[in-house]
Structure 1
Amino acid sequence: MRYMHQHLPKGPFRFIALDVETASGSSASICQIGLACVDHSNSIHSYTTYVNPETAFAPFNVQLHGIGPETVAQAPSFPEVWSALLPFLTPYHLVQHSNFDKNAIGAACKAYRLPSPDLSWSDSVKIARQAWPEFKGNGGHGLGHLKTALNLSFKHHDAGEDARASAQVVMLAEERLRQSFEQIAQTRIKAQMSLPI
């Protein structure tokens, strides 16, 4: 087994933002996974790993994120990565920016005949729409516009950086709405570690 080089952060966390990059138009072709784990002091603990999608890369995707076959040649496959990530993620509320990441995880699990994960997801696009309704029709709520509008600093289309940006969007929305993540997340309460231990 090819082990992931970086250790997973140690919790507990309030929530975890997750982002993926894919090798092609197939949502199952995950080639990078990034996590941004937000602790109870609002510090962000990042984790990123490349994933060998065991499939061909599309030139468009390579140009978009800069990840190609040579980048992931020695990286673990999705089942290897997921076996470590699933128990880590399961206790927490997860944040994605749109449904792309949840769908990609589901598609990769299906492609490898892994069980469909029972995870609690929230969408930071919807959270951003609550906090900044004025962006509708005026740049929108994608990470590209939010980066400029909210003065965020990150490299777009890097899974770790995009995950961190999604986490920052949620925390800024909490401040703007004066509500906690649990109040604005629109997610079912299933996280086992939502309170400090």
Structure 2
Amino acid sequence: MNKFGHLPTPPDGPFRFIALDVETASRAAGSICQIGLCFVSDTGTMQTYSVLVDPEDPFEAFNTELHGISAETVRDAATFPTVYAALFDRLNTHSLVQHSTFDEKVMTAACARYDLPMLTSHWTNSVKVARQAWPALKGAGGHGLANLKKHLGLSFHHHDAGEDARAAACVILKAEETTGVRLAHLKTNRQLNLPI
């Protein structure tokens, strides 16, 4: 268990979708130092998991100030290829949610850096979903997680990957409540073809 009570290991699915968030050690796109996942069931139950990653890159002060993760924090953590291998099948067989497109870009950069297979999952950007559900927020703080936290009354610790993944999942579920429409492309077992 980490300090926010996230699961010590990822749960077994299937899930309706998985929200994903990453934190990075520096401006280098592939410098992932934490991956957070929120697993959402058909009934809306959420389970959150996060894992520290040794980025094999130096940490920049700005990033550490933002998320509190340093070289010391990840001293005993596994590197990205090890963590990714353990998560790949779960991620690649579910629809993924991210808040903005940052997380997909960083995951893609890390895969390229280590010459690993890219995820072929469908990614949903919860910022776009939030814009449709709450258009009045444009120009009134916007649709970033910090403003949505205030507007929607969400409770989470910003810039922890597991917490931000849970927040992105909450944005999707609350948007569906607000609009009265479930996002059709977020389905349990959307992709059944596991890679060989």
TM-score normalised by length of structure 1: 0.90
Number of the residue aligned with 1:136: 138
- Number of residues of Structure 1 aligned to a counterpart in Structure 2: 186
Aligned equivalents of 1:24, 1:92: Cα separation in 2: 28
Change (3 A) 1:14 1:190: closer
Number of the residue aligned with 2:29: 27
List, as ranges, runs of 4+ consecutive aligned residues in structure 1 with deviation greater than 4 Å: none
Percent identical among aligned pairs is 52
Query: Could you say what secondary structure the match of 1:126 adopts?
Result: helix
Change (3 A) 1:139 1:147: same
Selected match of 1:48 from 27, 47, 50: 50
Q: Given that residues 95 and 121 in structure 1 are in contact (C-alpha distance below 8 angstroms), is that contact kept between their aligned partners in structure 2?
A: yes
Segments of 5+ residues of structure 1 without an aligned counterpart are: none
Number of the residue aligned with 1:122: 124
Query: Could you say what secondary structure the match of 1:20 adopts?
Result: strand
Aligned equivalents of 1:79, 1:70: Cα separation in 2: 20
- Please, what is the CA RMSD of the aligned residues? 1.8
Q: Given that residues 90 and 191 in structure 1 are in contact (C-alpha distance below 8 angstroms), is that contact kept between their aligned partners in structure 2?
A: no
Aligned equivalents of 2:118, 2:19: Cα separation in 1: 19
Number of the residue aligned with 2:4: none
1:16-74 CA distance string (max 9 Å, x none): 10000000011100000000000112110111000000110000000000000011010
| Amino acid in structure 2 at the alignment position of 1:85 | L
TM-score normalised by length of structure 2: 0.91
The Cα shift of 1:192 comes to 2.7
Q: Given that residues 17 and 164 in structure 1 are in contact (C-alpha distance below 8 angstroms), is that contact kept between their aligned partners in structure 2?
A: yes
Number of the residue aligned with 1:13: 15
The Cα shift of 1:10 comes to 1.6
Aligned equivalents of 1:24, 1:107: Cα separation in 2: 13
1:65-111 CA distance string (max 9 Å, x none): 00000110100000000001111111111000000000000000111
1:101-141 CA distance string (max 9 Å, x none): 00000000111111222121000000000100000011100
Segments of 5+ residues of structure 2 without an aligned counterpart are: 1-6
The Cα shift of 1:190 comes to 8.1
Aligned equivalents of 1:107, 1:118: Cα separation in 2: 14
